[in-house]
Structure 1
Amino acid sequence: METVLKQKKQMIYLPLIVLMFTQIGTSGDNAVLSVATNSLITALNASMNDIQLANMVYSLCAGAFMVAGGMLGIIIGWKKNFRIGVILAIVGELMLAISTNVVMFTWGGRLLVGLGASFMIPSVLGLIPGIYSGKERVFAFGAIGAATGIAAAAGPIVAGFLLDAFGFRVAFGALAVYFLLILIGSYAIPDVERSAQRLKMDVRGTIVAALGLFLFLIGISKISVWGLITPLQAPFTVFGISPSLPLAALGIIVLALLVVMEKSIEQKNGCALLPSSFLKSAQVRAGLFASAIVFLYLGGTVMLVNPYLQVVGGFNAVQTGIAMICVGAPMFLASMGVPKYAAQIHPKTILRIGYILLAVSVIPMALSLQENGVSIGMYIGLIIAGVGQGMLSSQASNVVALAVNERDAQQSGGIQATARNVGQAIGVAVLGMVMIFTINANLDSGMKKDNQISAAVIQQEETKNVSFMSDTAFISTLSDIPMKPQEQQELVRLNAQARMHSTQYALYVLGILSLVCILSTGGITITKKNRRKHASKQRR
C-alpha cells in the first residue's frame, strides 16, 4: 500500500517537472539572443538596431497576447493550449536556426517564439491550479519560481558555451530539440476538467487588449532611446516631443476602455478576457505586484549589473553568468524551501520580508561599485536579492489563485504573465531614464568643477548625449573635439565616476520601488485556511 502511494505521489510531480522545464525553456531563447549579438551581426549582416528590434518583437508579441492565452486555455483546454504554444516555439526556433537574413530571423522566428510563449506561460500558470491543490499547489508554484531562478543562473552560461563552441544556429537548433522533448513530455500532463458552461472567446477584447498593451509596452520600453520629452533618436515626434509618453498614455487609455468593455461582456457571456474578480480583489493586485517586481528585478539586474561587470569590470560572458548564479541559486532555494519549511507563515509576512530583502540588497551592490570594477559586496547583494526574489516567487501566483474561484484561478495565468512583462518593461524604462539623465548631469557637473578642462571643450562635450559606455567608446565619442591629452584623460576619469554614480542611483531607485510594493500586501486576507469559505461566497 505504501509503495502504491509513493508511486502515485511521484506521478503527481511528473507534470510539474515538465512545467518547470517549460518555464526554463521560455527564458532560453532570450538567453541565447543576449550573447549572440556579434554572431548575428556577422552571419546575417545585422545592425545593433536590428538586434534590438528582434528582442523587442518577442517581448511585444508575448506581452500583448498573454491575457488572450489565459482565456483561450479555459475554452479549449489547458493541455491543448500548452501544446499549441510548444509547437509554435519549435517552429520558431527552427526558423531562427536556418535564418538567412535578419528579416526572416525577426519576423519569422522571433515572432513565432513570442506567440508560443503567449500560449505556454499562461498554460504553465493555469495548469497548476487545475492539477494541484492545498500544499501541493503552493509547492508547485514555488517550483515554477525556482525554475525562473535556474534560468537566470544557468541560461547565460549554457547559451555562452553553445555560442562559443558551435555558433548561434546550433544554439537555436538545440532549443528546438529542447521544446520537442517538452512536447513529448506533455503526455505526462493530465487533462484538466473544463468548465461545464459553454464559453465564448472574447475576440473583441483580445484585439483591444493586444493593442493597448502593445502601445504601452513599446512607448515605455523606448524612453531611453527616443527620449522622455525631448526627442533623441525618435522615428517621429508628437507635437514636437518624443513619442514615448504619448504612445504609453494612449495604451493606458485603450486599456481603460477595455476594463469598461469587459464588464458588459462578462455580464453577457458569463466570462471575459479580464474577469471582474481580477479588478475588484486587492489580493489579486498584491500577487500581480509581486510577480511584476520579481521580473523587474531580473530585468534590472541584466540592465545594470551585467553591463557594469562586462564594460567596467572586463568580465566575459561565462564570468558574468557565474556572477548571476549568486542570484539564481538562492532564488531557486528560497522558491522551493519557503513553501516546504515556512508553510505556517502568512503569505503577507513572506512577501513583506521578500520586498525588504530586495530593498536591502541594493545597498551592498551600490557600495561595491568602483571606477574600474566591483568588490565582493556585489556578490553579497546579489545573494540577498536572490533570496528576496525567491520568497516573492514562492507566494505570488498562489496569492492570486487563493483570491478567486477555480476557473478564474486557472485563467489568471495570462494576467500574471502580462504583469511580469509590464513590470519588466516599466523597470527597464525607469532605470534607463535614471541612467541617461544622471550620467550626463554628473559628467556636466564634474567638468564645470574641474580646472583642467577648458571652457571650449566643455561647451562642445555638452552637445554630446553620453550613455553607459566603455572608456574606449567614450574616447571615440569625443574624437571630433580638439583637446589636450591631459584633458582627454581627465574626461575619461570623470566619465568613469559619472558611470559609477549613475548606476548607484539606478540601484537605489530599484530598492525604493520594492519598498513601495510593500503597501500592496495589506490586501492579502484570503489564506488556505479560509479559502473554501471564500470560494463558496464567489459561487453564490
Structure 2
Amino acid sequence: MNRWKALVILGMAQFLMVLDASVMNVSISQLVIDFDTEVTAIQAVITLYTLVMAAFMITGGKLGDMFGRRRVFAGGLVVYGVGSALTAVAPTLGVLALGWSVIEGFGAALVLPALAALVASTYQGRDRAVSYGVIGGLAGAGIAVGPLLGGWVTTYLTWRLVFAGEAVLVVVILLLIRWIAPQPAPATRPRLDLGGVLLSVAGLALVVLAVLQSSSWGWLHPRNPPFTVFGFSPTVFVIALGLVLLHLLRLWEEHRADPLVRFSLFRIPSLRSGLLMLFSQNVILLGLFFAIPLYLQVVLGLNAFETGLRLLPVSVTMLVAALSGPALNRFVSPRTVVRTGLLVLFAATLWLLGTIEPELDDLSFALAMALLGLGMGLLASQLGNVVQSSVGESERSEVGGLQYTAQNLGSSLGTALIGAIVISALAAAFTAAMAKDPAVSETVRQQAGTRIESGLNFVPADQAAAALAKTSIPPEEADAVVSAYRTAQLDGLKVAVLAAAGITLAGFPFTRRLPATGSGHGRVPARTRGTPPGGPGDSTEQHEELP
C-alpha cells in the first residue's frame, strides 16, 4: 500500500486541475448574470485559462528539470491555491480572469508537467500503466464531479464555494506531499531559455486569440475588428504572425545549448502521434463541452445543476473506460484501442447531432453522452502512457511539458474554434431564415443585417424577444424574427457538433505510428517506436514493456 501513497497525492492534484474547468462550463449563464457580461466574454475567460496553461507548460517542464520535480510541483500548487482564493472573492470579470485564467493557469503549468514526470519516475512497468490509468480515470472523475458539483453549488449556493474548496484542497495536498519521494535537482542546472519562452508564449497566444475573436472580427470580411489589414479582417493575419513566431522558435532552439524544447524529440513517431492525438482529443472534448451547455442552458433554459445531471453520463463512462486501459492492453495494442475510441467518438457525435432539437429527448441524449464518454475514456486510457513511454528518464519533464501543452492547446483551440463555429453558423442561418420569411419586412432585414455585421451573440430567445418588444417593430414581425433566431441557434449548434465529428475522422491518420503491440503481445523495442540511433529515446529503458 505504501507504494501507492505518491499516486494518491498525484491523483488528487490531477483531479483538482480538471475540476474547475468543468465547473466553469456549466456556470456560463450564472457568470454572465453575476458579472453583467456576455457569453463571448466568459468564452474568452475560459479560453484564456487553457491558453495560459498551454503557453507556459513547456516552461513549467523545464523548471522541473532545473529545480527538481517535486519542488516545482509544490510551488505550482501554492500558485494555484492563491489563484483559487482570488477567484473565490473576485468582484469583477477582470479579477476573475486574473485569478482563474492567469494565476491558476500558470500554477497548473507548473504542476502538470511535474506530475506526469513524477508518475513516470515513481512507477515502472505495469505499475506505471496502472498509475496512468488511475490518473486518466481521475481526470474523468473531475469531469464527472465538476458539472454535477458545480451545477448544484451554482444553482443553490454560489460557484465561488468551489474555488474556496480548491484552495483548501491545495493545503491538504501540500501537507501530505512528503508521500512523494524527493526529486533532487540535477548536479548541473540547465539555464532557462528566456528567448524561447517569449517566442513560444507570443506565438501560441496570437494563434488562439485570433481563432477566439474570429466570430466577432470575421475571417476575411471584417465585422467589428479593432483594425483591418488592407481592408480585410485581421484574423488570418494574426494567425499567420503566430505561426511565424513558432517557426522562429524552432530556428532559435536549434542554436541553443540548453533549449526550451528539443525539436529532435518530434522525430520519435510514437511520441509525435501521441501528442497529436492528445491535441485532437481535447479539441473535441472541450469544444463539445462548450457547445453542449449552450444548448442545455441557453436554448432549453436548464439551470447549472440540471445541466450537470445531463452531462453526468459522459463523465461516468469516461472514468470507467479510462481505468480499463491496463486490462485492455493485455489483449490489444494501444493503436487498436485508440482507433476504437475514435470510431466510438464519431458514432457518439452523429448520435448527438440527432438529439439537438427544440425539445430534449432525455434518454437519447443520455445514451449519446454515455457513448461520447466511452470514446474519450478509451483515448485517455492509452495516450499518457504512450507519450511518457516513448522517451527515457532524462526527457520525462520536457515531454510532460509537451504532453500538457498539446492537451491545453487543444482545449483552448477547441473552445475558441467550436465557439467561433457556433456564432458564425448562427449568423449564417439567421440571415438565411430572415431572407426566406415573408413575414419579415425589408427594413427589419436590413436592421438585422447591420446587427449581424457588428457581431451576433448567443443569448436566450426570450431575451431577444424582450429586446425586440422595446423597439417599434410590430409584434407579429418580432415573433417571426425570434422564431428565426431559435431555429438558427439549433442550426449553429448542429454545425459545431458536425465539425467535432469531422475532427474525429481527421484524427485517424495520426494513429498510424502509435504502438502496434500491447503488453500481452511482447515488448516494444525502441527502433519500432522510430527512435533515431543515438536519439533522445535511445536508452535501455526504451525496451521495457509498454503496457
Could you tell me which residue of structure 1 aligns to residue 401 of structure 2? 414
> Displacement of 1:58 after TM fit?
2.8
Could you tell me which residue of structure 2 aligns to residue 67 of structure 1? 58
> Displacement of 1:434 after TM fit?
2.6
- The higher relative CO (CA closer than 8 Å, separation ≥ 6) is in 2
SS of 2:221's partner is coil
The question of whether the paired residues in 2 share the 8 Å contact of 1:67 and 1:414 is answered with yes
Could you tell me which residue of structure 1 aligns to residue 511 of structure 2? 521
Could you tell me which residue of structure 1 aligns to residue 542 of structure 2? none
The CA deviation string for residues 319-361 of structure 1, in whole angstroms up to 9 with x for no partner, is: 1111111111111000001222443311111111111111111
Bigger CA drift: 139-148 or 349-358? Answer: 139-148
> Displacement of 1:197 after TM fit?
5.5
Could you tell me which residue of structure 2 aligns to residue 175 of structure 1? 166
> Which amino acid letter does the alignment assign opposite residue 347 of structure 2?
V
Bigger CA drift: 52-61 or 436-445? Answer: 52-61
Distance 1:95 1:443 in 2: 40
> Displacement of 1:175 after TM fit?
1.4
Could you tell me which residue of structure 1 aligns to residue 544 of structure 2? none
Residue among 191, 203, 214 paired with 2:205: 214
Alpha-carbon distance change, 101 to 440 in structure 1, aligned in 2, over 3 angstroms: closer
The question of whether the paired residues in 2 share the 8 Å contact of 1:219 and 1:248 is answered with yes
- 1:502 to 2:489 alignment: no
Distance 1:423 1:52 in 2: 15
> Which amino acid letter does the alignment assign opposite residue 492 of structure 2?
S
> Which amino acid letter does the alignment assign opposite residue 70 of structure 2?
K
CA-atom RMSD, angstroms?
A: 2.8
Distance 1:103 1:214 in 2: 18
Alpha-carbon distance change, 493 to 374 in structure 1, aligned in 2, over 3 angstroms: farther
Could you tell me which residue of structure 2 aligns to residue 383 of structure 1? 370
Q: How does 1:428-467 map onto structure 2 within 5 Å?
A: 428-465=415-452, 466-467=456-457
Could you tell me which residue of structure 1 aligns to residue 478 of structure 2? 488
The question of whether the paired residues in 1 share the 8 Å contact of 2:20 and 2:146 is answered with no
Distance 2:534 2:312 in 1: 44
Could you tell me which residue of structure 2 aligns to residue 298 of structure 1? 285
Distance 1:109 1:432 in 2: 20
The question of whether the paired residues in 1 share the 8 Å contact of 2:203 and 2:246 is answered with yes
> Which amino acid letter does the alignment assign opposite residue 147 of structure 2?
P
SS of 1:264's partner is coil
Distance 2:446 2:99 in 1: 47
Q: How does 1:130-529 map onto structure 2 within 5 Å?
A: 130-192=121-183, 198-265=189-256, 268-269=257-258, 272-465=259-452, 466-476=456-466, 478-479=468-469, 482-525=472-515, 529=523
> Which amino acid letter does the alignment assign opposite residue 317 of structure 2?
P
Bigger CA drift: 48-57 or 79-88? Answer: 48-57
Identical positions, percent: 27
> Displacement of 1:373 after TM fit?
3.4
The CA deviation string for residues 256-315 of structure 1, in whole angstroms up to 9 with x for no partner, is: 1111221222xx34xx32123432123222111221222222212222111111122222
The question of whether the paired residues in 1 share the 8 Å contact of 2:26 and 2:293 is answered with no
Distance 1:165 1:446 in 2: 38
SS of 1:274's partner is coil
The question of whether the paired residues in 1 share the 8 Å contact of 2:351 and 2:368 is answered with yes
Distance 1:163 1:175 in 2: 15
Could you tell me which residue of structure 2 aligns to residue 530 of structure 1? 524
> Displacement of 1:393 after TM fit?
0.8
> Displacement of 1:254 after TM fit?
0.7
Distance 1:42 1:221 in 2: 22
Alpha-carbon distance change, 516 to 398 in structure 1, aligned in 2, over 3 angstroms: same
Alpha-carbon distance change, 469 to 96 in structure 1, aligned in 2, over 3 angstroms: closer
Unaligned residue ranges in structure 2 (runs of 5+): 540-547
Distance 2:113 2:322 in 1: 19
Distance 1:443 1:43 in 2: 28
Alpha-carbon distance change, 495 to 379 in structure 1, aligned in 2, over 3 angstroms: same
The CA deviation string for residues 129-178 of structure 1, in whole angstroms up to 9 with x for no partner, is: 11122222222222222122111121122223334555355432221101
Say which structure is richer in helix.
Answer: 1
> Displacement of 1:27 after TM fit?
2.6
The question of whether the paired residues in 2 share the 8 Å contact of 1:70 and 1:411 is answered with yes
The CA deviation string for residues 105-148 of structure 1, in whole angstroms up to 9 with x for no partner, is: 43356432121111011111121111122222222222222122
> Displacement of 1:209 after TM fit?
1.4
> Displacement of 1:487 after TM fit?
2.9
Could you tell me which residue of structure 2 aligns to residue 13 of structure 1? 4
The question of whether the paired residues in 1 share the 8 Å contact of 2:282 and 2:411 is answered with yes
TM-score (norm 2): 0.88
The question of whether the paired residues in 2 share the 8 Å contact of 1:131 and 1:192 is answered with no
The CA deviation string for residues 384-440 of structure 1, in whole angstroms up to 9 with x for no partner, is: 110111111111122222322222233211111111122123223332333223222
Distance 2:378 2:32 in 1: 39
Distance 2:238 2:344 in 1: 34
Alpha-carbon distance change, 305 to 374 in structure 1, aligned in 2, over 3 angstroms: farther
> Which amino acid letter does the alignment assign opposite residue 56 of structure 2?
F
Bigger CA drift: 285-294 or 327-336? Answer: 285-294
Q: What count of residue pairs does the alignment treat as equivalent?
A: 527
Unaligned residue ranges in structure 1 (runs of 5+): 1-9
Could you tell me which residue of structure 1 aligns to residue 118 of structure 2? 127
Distance 1:364 1:103 in 2: 39
Alpha-carbon distance change, 166 to 384 in structure 1, aligned in 2, over 3 angstroms: closer
Distance 1:399 1:280 in 2: 15
Alpha-carbon distance change, 277 to 318 in structure 1, aligned in 2, over 3 angstroms: same
Could you tell me which residue of structure 1 aligns to residue 543 of structure 2? none
Alpha-carbon distance change, 470 to 326 in structure 1, aligned in 2, over 3 angstroms: same
